Structure 1
Amino acid sequence: MKIYAQLNENKICTGISQLSGEVIQADMIEIPSADNSYLWKKYENGVWSTGTFEPQSTAPITEFEALKVENVALRNDLSNAVIELSTLIAMGGM
C-alpha cells in the first residue's frame, strides 16, 4: 500500500489516499503514513509548510444563520419523534 497527500491547484493538501500501487502525478505526494497533520499544509519545493492554509468560506453569513435555524427545527422534530416513539413503545403499540 502507498499513501499519498492529494494536492489542489495551490499545492495544498486537501486529502489523504491509500492506494494499492504507485502513482506518479504532480498532485499526489507520497507520505509515510495516513497522517491527517498533512491536511491544509502546502507542499512546495519538496518541503511541507509548518502553517496551515485552511479554506475560508465565502458563503454569506445569512446563509449560515438560515442553516442554524433549520438545524434547530430539525433537532426539535427529531426530539418530538423520539418522544412519540417512546410513548408508543410504552403503550405496547410497536
Structure 2
Amino acid sequence: MASQTYEVAHIREQGQDMIIVPVSSRVQSMSSQQQNELNQSLQYYANDAGLFGEVCLVWEYGNRFYFLAPRPWHPFFKNMDMRFVASNINRKLTCMS
C-alpha cells in the first residue's frame, strides 16, 4: 500500500477551522474537476485522522500564490503567502492508497 504524507497547517481563523494543505505546483495544470477531487480526497483523510475543519489547498506557481478555499475565505487567503503557511505547519496528514 502506498502512502503520501502532507505537512498541514491546522488553524482556527475567523471562527473557522481550516486545514491548509500545501501541494505541488503541478496542481496548477490540473482541471478544476481534478483539483476538486484532490481537495475532496484530502478532506476525507483529514476527517478520518480526526482533523476538524475545511481542507484548503495552497500552492505556488511561478512567483504567485494560489489557493482552493471556500469563497467567503478568499479575502483571508489573498493576504496569505507560503511563509505564513510554513510558519503554521503543525500536523502531518498521511493518506493511504
TM-score range, shorter chain: under 0.3
Q: Which has the larger strand fraction?
A: 2
TM-score, L = length of structure 2: 0.25
Whichever of the two has the greater Rg, that structure is: 1
TM-score, L = length of structure 1: 0.25
